[in-house]
Structure 1
Amino acid sequence: MMNYIKNFLRYKGLLREFITRDLKIKYRRSILGYLWSLLNPLLMMVVLVAVFSNIFRFDIPNFPVYLLSGQIIFSFFAEATSLSMNSILDAGSLIKKVYIPKYIFPVSRVLSSFVSLLFSLVAILIVMIVTDAPITPVVLFFPLPLLYILLFSIGMGLIMSVLAVYFRDIIHLYTVLLSAWMYLTPIFYPINAVPDYVKSVISANPMYYFVEAFRDIVVYNQLPNFQTNLVCFTFSAISILLGLFVFYKNQHKFVLYI
């Protein structure tokens, strides 16, 4: 384990360069640049609030903040894992030429998406101010659920990057899976609006707990309870440990498939 940590610290400068590169590529030739990290969730929130507030009429206090908080967390996870899934394939020519720790490629994709997530948090603050939502000292604990979802996304990103090397079809199937996953996460509807058999499925969904932990802090002005923290920590720990195990077991065979 210490060797892995030393290796990570040795290449942290390269990891930082890859993160910077990914962000530059993402906003290349964009006039507004990083402002899109703020505008994208705001514009999507306006559309969804108009639809779900007026047509479906879910009775959720401060629905804009409720919606945006769930939307930002899930969007980060979807983007981070989708980008990391292609990371090894995209770096194939570089991997064949020089030695670089291969985990850097998927991890840098997740971390660059995390930087965009941090910019998106400004959108939540703006909506909270506009809608006159209460802002209490509890909001200072927002990094806790973000840490959970970051670790979970890194683990999932490592796994998806391995699967994509061996099974290219997973790149297309994952888009469909993310759509189903999104609808099974209470982002724009309350969990009490679904039947009991659907609730049992949602209760096995890790994203439900990450979203709820974040909402507890920014929407309900309370710390996530012990059970929510325990579930989030467990899912994050399993994801990162399983991701590292799968990645290190397979990384030496990447050059045969890329």
Structure 2
Amino acid sequence: MPGARGSLIFETAHQMNFLTPFANAWHYRELIRAVVRRELAVRFRGTIFGWVWAIFGPLVMLTAYTVIFSHAVGVPASAKGGSFGSYALSIFTGLIVFNLFSELAYRSPGLLHEHAGVIKKSIFPSETLAWTAAIRGAVYAVISLGVLLVFELVLTFRLPPASLLLPLVVVPFFLFLLGICWFLMALGSFTRDVAHLMISIVPVFMFATPIFYSIEDVPPNLRIYLHLNPIGNYVEMMRDLLLFNRFPDLFLYGGTVAASLLIFFFSYRFFMQYKAVFVDVI
């Protein structure tokens, strides 16, 4: 019953504040931890090398980029990372960010359908599915990030001190991804067309994100449009910290973080507002 389900939520939609999503996640922290642990265990079940594959994939990819692009002709100078990196590291940094986003964009519309049996038969906090999906994806992204840092250390013999400030970019990016998950989960519960839409537009969206190029390589009159893409902004900010040893432009950082927090809270509120309806439509 909607009343019973609502009793598990700390505040109703009109009473929510910014801390409500965190308080709710903390309340269900054991459930989130158990689901994440199970999903991570299932990923490599039945394999001989297990978690070695999580490292091997990014390692092979970055090795290939290094071999192919380290002496490439016509590579934009701004994308090479100056004295702190190479074009391969620049591409890989962008792919870590974009692949995490694309994984969640593909999976989120079907999350409620994927767990429909549990949601329909019990009082299950469906909003926690966004946390488990985002944490699961973040684990593999962190592994890729570790491979990136090792390669950078091998290629440049140092890690930029600015990389210590990485949490200032990673945390709002994670909250942004959570917001995307909640929003797509809500829309995907009403129609499976959302999943097909993501499959169609995410690959195209990749070319509007500065992965194989830098925003500095784009004509100045077009840069403002690229900055409307939060994923691209996070790619550039990650490169600033990891490759260029500089803190991102404060205006860009502040605007991107503010937009991320807005998306995070709006999407959570949107999801919780229609949460009772999902049981009937999935």
- Report the TM-score, using the length of structure 1 for normalisation: 0.90
Q: Which runs of 5+ in 2 are unaligned?
A: 1-8, 12-19
Deviation at 1:251, TM superposition (A): 1.0
Aligned twin of 1:71: 95
- Of 174, 199, 208, the match for 2:232: 208
- The 3-state SS of whatever aligns with 2:156 is coil
- Of 184, 187, 193, the match for 2:211: 187
Instruction: Name the stretch that deviates more: 190-199 or 162-171.
Output: 190-199
Distance 1:56 1:180 in 2: 24
Distance 1:97 1:20 in 2: 22
Is 2:177 the partner of 1:153?
Answer: yes
- The 3-state SS of whatever aligns with 1:28 is coil
Larger Rg: 2
Distance 2:47 2:203 in 1: 27
Distance 1:163 1:53 in 2: 45
Distance 1:30 1:56 in 2: 41
Aligned twin of 1:219: 243
Deviation at 1:86, TM superposition (A): 1.9
In structure 2, relative to structure 1, the CA distance for the partners of 1:226 and 1:158 (3 Å cut) is same
Distance 2:44 2:162 in 1: 33
Deviation at 1:185, TM superposition (A): 0.8
- The 3-state SS of whatever aligns with 1:221 is coil
In structure 2, relative to structure 1, the CA distance for the partners of 1:89 and 1:129 (3 Å cut) is same
Q: In the comparison of the two structures, how many residue pairs are matched?
A: 258
Aligned twin of 2:52: 35
In structure 2, relative to structure 1, the CA distance for the partners of 1:33 and 1:85 (3 Å cut) is farther
Deviation at 1:98, TM superposition (A): 0.8
How high is the sequence identity, in percent, across the aligned residues? 24
In structure 2, relative to structure 1, the CA distance for the partners of 1:214 and 1:99 (3 Å cut) is same
Contact persistence 1:136–1:221 (CA under 8 A): yes
Deviation at 1:228, TM superposition (A): 2.4
Contact persistence 1:15–1:104 (CA under 8 A): yes
In structure 2, relative to structure 1, the CA distance for the partners of 1:45 and 1:184 (3 Å cut) is farther
Aligned twin of 1:8: 25
Deviation at 1:238, TM superposition (A): 1.4
Is 2:72 the partner of 1:54?
Answer: yes
Aligned twin of 1:245: 269
Distance 1:214 1:187 in 2: 11
Contact persistence 2:152–2:158 (CA under 8 A): yes
Contact persistence 2:75–2:87 (CA under 8 A): no
In structure 2, relative to structure 1, the CA distance for the partners of 1:52 and 1:171 (3 Å cut) is farther
Q: Which runs of 5+ in 1 are unaligned?
A: none
Output the aligned Cα RMSD. 2.2
Instruction: Name the stretch that deviates more: 133-142 or 224-233.
Output: 133-142
Aligned twin of 1:168: 192
- Report the TM-score, using the length of structure 2 for normalisation: 0.83
Distance 1:233 1:85 in 2: 24
